[in-house]
Amino acid sequence: MAKDSNVTVVVVPFLAQGHLGPLLHLSRLISSYDIPVHYVSTTTHIRQASSRHQGWDLLAHKNIHVHEFPIPAFHCPAPDPNAKIKFPTQLQPAFEASIHLREPVCKLLNSLSAIARRVVIIHDHIMASVVQDFVSLPNAESYFLQTTGAFFLHSFYWDSMGRPSSADDDMLQQLPSTEGCFSPESMAFWKKQQIHFKNSSGELYNTSRAIEGHSFDLLQKLQVDKKLWAIGPFNPVDIIEKPDQQRHECLKWLDNQASNSVIYVSFGTTTSVSDEQIHAIAVGLENSGQKFIWVLRDADKGDIFTGDVRKSELPMGYEDRILEAGQGLIVRGWAPQLEILAHTSTGGFMSHCGWSSCLESMSMGVPIATWPMHSDQPRNAVLITKVLKLGIVVKDWIPGNDLVESVHIENAVKKLIASKEGDEIRKRAAELRNDMKKSVGEGGVSRLELDSFIDHITR
């Protein structure tokens, strides 16, 4: 569907992987309407987003224009695997440094404003201060993107309103506290962005009514003065397979495994776990007798391309033993998560429950063993296990760095991969995958909402 090419979109993601990737996926969706999209970040974070991009060919989308802006150097400490609070405080200097994007973004907006009928800014809700100068342009408007799900955000607003009585009380009262989910510095940073929210013309959500219709309706009732669109999942639901020489080694290992026989273990880009916990995970996975791929890496630093990376220690001879037995594979660097989840051999995902990971897993029909670490993750885990019934609990949310024993990990893996209960969960996950695929297809609920948004900005 071709739209007015004299409308230009500028996309400004937050400086963390769980934001850079989804907004790049969103750029693809918008550019498919013949609308030019300008994707903007720092030089370092453009390099990060490009190096980790997967699922579709960025170079084939000529309507996506990538802008990388240098900013002053910032120093981020190494991640602390023994920290009691798992929120990635090591990234805070990078978050604060994002304000240096304000001036180059302002110049870009001014130059586009001079040649476009309308400039539409889509920015991460925690990048509102970076785009604030758009208000001086007569033909610019902004929309902020919520990178959390509707279930979490509604519960967050419910907390802030003092937990009033609700028809959803049974579920809301079971929600874990957000104590320990965020750092004081991150909350202060968010509040600095809030003062600019009033200038927004609406909100976009990386979610689908197919999975969060009720929660999204509740959010709309709380925000009657703003238009909301649920247009996710942003990630592709069908993955373009790469030629063999471009495929990651772990995918070739998966090719030789039985259908739904492998559990994929990864705790995302913002969490580091202690050596003691790593040892327990190693023992639990091996003792489960199930096949696994384990992405064993520290959390991202502010600049992922500089400095030393901690190499976590495994039990003596462990890596060779599980590889020789054909039981498992350790990936110590970046892994192509979308491609792993899309593989027919992957039958489960032990996850921190970051929203991007939840969406990717659901859109590929893979059930989740939940192990939340911080931020929105504890409540995302409730959505997965109690509302959608698409997973099992490895660890309930308790603030603090409590060790999960190996036997508990062993039992969780067996339940998800090799039990009747796990098979039933997988069946539900496959049904939801079909619903999500329909939602982004022609006439689906997410596609209709995206069409509505495009009609709105090209009016």
Please report, in angstroms and rounded to a whole number, the separation of the first and last CA atoms in the chain.
14
User: What's the longest Cα–Cα distance across the chain?
Assistant: 65
Q: Is 389 left (phi over 0), alpha (psi -120 to 50) or beta?
A: left
Contacts for 245 with CB less than 8 Å, ≥ 6 apart: none
Question: Is 19 considered catalytic here?
Answer: yes
d(C-alpha 86, C-alpha 374), whole Å: 6
> In the block, which residue shows the tokens 């192509």?
336
Residue 255 tokens read as 């090719």
> At which residue do the structure tokens 């462990």 appear?
318
Q: Which of 123, 124, 343, 376 is labelled catalytic? A: 124
* Cα separations in angstroms, 283 against 213, 261, 321, 368: 40, 19, 12, 20
Q: How far apart are CA 459 and CA 456, in angstroms?
A: 5
Q: How far is CA 301 from the centre of its chain?
A: 17
Residue 138: CB atoms within 10 Å: 7
Q: Is residue 159 among the annotated active site residues?
A: no
Give the active site residues.
19, 124
